[in-house]
Amino acid sequence: MATSERLLQIESLYLYFRTTKGVVQAVDGINLELGRNEAIVIIGESGCGKTSLARAILRLLPRNVHKYTGKVFLGDLNVMELSEEEFRQHIRWMRISMVPQAAMNALNPVLRVGDQVAEPAIIHGGLTKREALEQAIKMFRMVGVPEDFASRYAFELSGGMRQRVAIAMALITSPELVVLDEPTSALDVLTQANIMNMLKSIKWDLGVSYILITHDISTSSELADRVAVMYAGQIVEVGDALRFFQSPLHPYSRKLMNSVPRLRVDMEPEFIVGQPPSLIFPPKGCRFAERCPQRFGRCAEDPPIIAQNGRQVKCWLYA
Amino acid sequence: MSVTPEPLIQSTISTSPTEAPFCPVMPVLSIQDLHVWFELRQWGFFLAGYVRAVDDISFDLAEGEAIAIVGESGCGKTTLMRTILGLVRPTKGKILFANKNICELGTIGLREYRSHMGYVQQDPYGALPPFLSVRRILEEPLIINGVDDRGERERRIRKALEEVKMAPVEDFLTKFPHMLSGGQQQRVVIARAMILGPKILVADEPVSMLDASVRVEILKLLEGLRRTHNLAVIYVTHDLSTVRYFSERIFVMYAGKIIEQARVNDLIRHHQHPYTRALFEATPDPDAHNATVLKDVPPGEPPSLVKPPPGCRFHPRCAWKIDGLCEVEEPPYFEMRPQHLVACWLYR
């Protein structure tokens, strides 16, 4: 985990959007590290900036960007210094790929899924069409899609199969890092478990790293080596999964864990009172203070990130 | 169907009163031998077969009882709900409500019946008309059901909003659905379902579109409404982990049939059917250990309901299949213990 070779390092990454109501501070000074063959999950409520963080890493930005700064090291290379063309040619899909949210519903309906999976290998990998198709079929085998499905269209496939196709598309260029944005949220329980199994085996066999973005904490534990909790555009806690799931540190993480209904333990879930703050005018000081049962005087100041036995938490309680 | 399963044992009187805080006495809704088959037409003309969305389902729902129907998409649970709400006419079977078979009611009878049923849809944003204010949304069912007095309507709208904890009411009355958060939208949907004072509330995946932290809040709200109004609640979901806290009996559906039913605690401790076991295995709890092992879940996908597999419908995916039996004969219900029925040959 912490000892493994570093793959990705994000330093004070900011991504703000301009809207008619004001500037949305979606990603607000994020620091994050990821090792090779490591999976980190980013959990948080909707609107906390998880997806924006993924987009910031892959530089898939909308037009209304107000501020996009920070450093993103992939190995030793700061990819933020690359031009758009260099980034497109050498980084996106070649070294970092993504399974976007609801990817299974975004497949092109008039292309055969085999051709669609092969496309990144042709455009980014420079393979010929035939080589790319062979590669696509290899990917299909790996993600558990029958080979003859390559000549089918997306509408002929079930949801689980389409999601597998979307994952195959992200893996065909053998990237080092795959960003998975809610990969199983619209799927049935058994299909979800099958896809999680598949993602796990791929991680063990190929040594890829994952950034898994989800609001489903139970499912996230299927893949997590480390957990990062996001709240209102900031990361409030990062730590290894084992200790996080046993005893989360930040009051928000604890509340979040208590809101998870558990099947095997008889513990009635509780909900978090209140709503997350607006990202247009986020409160000064700790952003969770308003909903926090343990707030005290100091919470009016912005808490620093405090190291706590190899874990990091952004809360004055640990100062 | 060559073999008809034995009829369900319809005992709703609890054997252990400690497990049932609301001792079910009288069924408010009784479903008997229900079949909903949709015709498939070739070239819009020839009968090409049936989609057997609901195939021989029977159960009783007691007054004030919360039941859960658990199953994957395509198992027929939504069709079952739509039939119970009187939106789909069954091919065969009866739905008895207040000693009337609702399948035989005409338009006026059905309207009266539906006023006793509340429906909470899965996607609140899709379920609320975007061009109506919250007040108008809640007023609509009152107008349709003949509440002519304006003041009375206003009073009931306010009461309904207070009941779903949307306070202060004035702030919300003039708002449109897009101005509300997902949780608030779902509250409006619940208020609309409750405004006519129903006896039964049908909640079709009421929280699957909502954020994890809001889910529990909405489920607790439904639970509170059930207790204060002695409502019977049918909670349809694919998420076993919430079922445990928000229902008393569970029915597990697979490919149009109920394959296992039991009281909640019984099912959690002693689930028997291989499919139910797979559902339990596949439902994770937040535990770092999950990342180190592969789950033992059956491969494949639920069968087509046009040509369901003969015999037990789960047999093509089942690891415990008994050759020469499971693929030939449909399993009847075996009673494991009181009120716990399993349709599986392993327990013959």
Enumerate the residues of chain B whose CB falls inside 8 A of the CB of residue A201: 294
- φ and ψ of B117, to 5 deg: -115, 130
Enumerate the residues of chain B whose CB falls inside 8 A of the CB of residue A224: 288, 291
Q: What is the token pair recorded at B222?
A: 């439904």
pLDDT for A167 equals 94
Residue B13 has pLDDT above 50, yes or no: no
| Count of the separate structural domains present in chain A | 1
Q: Is the dihedral of CA A89, A163, A214, A210 positive or negative?
A: negative
> Which residue is associated with the tokens 């040959």?
B345
With CA atoms as reference, the chain B residue closest to A43 would be: B212
pLDDT for A299 equals 94
Per-residue pLDDT averaged across A189-208, rounded? 93
**B215 and A270: CB-CB below 8 Å?**
no
Lowest mean pLDDT among A251-260, B10-19, B57-66, B315-324: B10-19
Residue A218, in any domain of the structure: yes
With CA atoms as reference, the chain B residue closest to A192 would be: B282
Percent of chain B with pLDDT over 70: 93
Residue A101 has pLDDT above 80, yes or no: yes
Q: Which residues of B194-227 are buried (b: 16+ CB within 10 A; e: fewer)?
A: bbbebbbbbbbbbbbbbbbbbbbbbbbbbbebbe
Residue A292, in any domain of the structure: yes
Nearest to A271 among B213, B282, B283 (CB): B213
- A225-244 pLDDT per residue, tens: 999 999 999 999 999 999 99
Q: How far is A194 from chain B (nearest CA, A)?
A: 7
A80 lies in which domain range?
Answer: 6-95+175-318
Q: Is B165 in CB contact (< 8 Å) with chain A?
A: no
Domains of chain B: 23-65+79-114+251-321+332-348 (3.40.50.300), 125-247 (3.40.50.300)
Secondary structure class of B179 (helix, strand, coil): helix
Per-residue pLDDT averaged across A108-136, rounded? 93
d(CA A176, CA A63): 28
pLDDT for A2 equals 45
Can you tell me the ipTM of this complex? 0.87
B interface test, pick of A43, A50, A162, A188 with most B CB neighbours within 10 Å: A188
Grade residue B1 by pLDDT with cuts at 50, 70 and 90: very low
d(CA B297, CA B20): 32
Alpha helices, DSSP H, located in chain B: 77-84, 107-114, 124-127, 134-144, 150-163, 169-173, 182-194, 212-229, 240-246, 264-269, 274-282
- B47-67 pLDDT per residue, tens: 888 999 999 999 999 999 999
Grade residue B4 by pLDDT with cuts at 50, 70 and 90: very low
> Which residue is associated with the tokens 């079952």?
B80
Residue A48, in any domain of the structure: yes
Residue B21 has pLDDT above 80, yes or no: no
Residue A99 has pLDDT above 90, yes or no: yes
Secondary structure class of A197 (helix, strand, coil): helix
Compute the CA torsion angle B247, B301, B335, B261 (nearest 10 deg).
10
Residue B17 has pLDDT above 60, yes or no: no
**A218 and B284: CB-CB below 8 Å?**
yes
Q: How far is B105 from chain A (nearest CA, A)?
A: 36
- A46-60 pLDDT per residue, tens: 889 999 999 999 999
- What distances in angstroms separate CA A169 from CA A86, A125, A141, A317, B103, one per listed residue? 21, 12, 13, 44, 49
With a CB-CB cutoff of 8 Å, which residues 32-91 of chain A face chain B? 39, 45-46
pLDDT for B8 equals 40
pLDDT for B7 equals 40
Amino acid identity of residue A73, one-letter, is F
| CATH code, domain carrying A10 | 3.40.50.300
Q: Is A202 in CB contact (< 8 Å) with chain B?
A: no
Q: Is the dihedral of CA A217, A223, A228, A233 positive or negative?
A: negative
Residue A289, in any domain of the structure: yes
Q: Which one-letter DSSP state was computed for residue B255? A: T
pLDDT for A114 equals 94
- B89-110 pLDDT per residue, tens: 999 999 999 889 998 888 899 9
Residue A91, in any domain of the structure: yes
- B249-276 pLDDT per residue, tens: 999 999 999 999 999 999 999 999 999 9
A interface test, pick of B213, B275, B294 with most A CB neighbours within 10 Å: B213
Q: Is B321 in CB contact (< 8 Å) with chain A?
A: no
Residue A4 has pLDDT above 80, yes or no: no
Q: How far is B14 from chain A (nearest CA, A)?
A: 22
Residue A76 has pLDDT above 70, yes or no: yes
Per-residue pLDDT averaged across A100-114, rounded? 89
Residue A233, in any domain of the structure: yes
Grade residue B41 by pLDDT with cuts at 50, 70 and 90: confident
Q: Is B211 in CB contact (< 8 Å) with chain A?
A: yes
Cβ pair A38, A7 in contact under 8 A: yes
Could you tell me which residues come within 8 angstroms of residue A44 by beta carbon, excluding any fewer than 6 positions away? A50, A215, A229, A230, A231
Residue A294, in any domain of the structure: yes
> Which residue is associated with the tokens 């369901």?
B308
pTM of the complete model beyond 0.90: no
Cβ pair A303, A316 in contact under 8 A: yes
Nearest to A221 among B242, B284, B301 (CB): B284
Residue A1 has pLDDT above 70, yes or no: no
pLDDT for B239 equals 87
Closest residue by Cα to residue A51 from A15, A86, A75: A15
Could you tell me which residues come within 8 angstroms of residue B195 by beta carbon, excluding any fewer than 6 positions away? B138, B141, B142, B156, B157, B160
Q: Is A191 in CB contact (< 8 Å) with chain B?
A: yes
Residue A167, in any domain of the structure: no
Per-residue pLDDT averaged across A93-114, rounded? 91
pLDDT for B10 equals 39
Grade residue B12 by pLDDT with cuts at 50, 70 and 90: very low
> Which residue is associated with the tokens 């085998």?
A141
pLDDT for B15 equals 38
Nearest to A271 among B214, B282, B284 (CB): B214
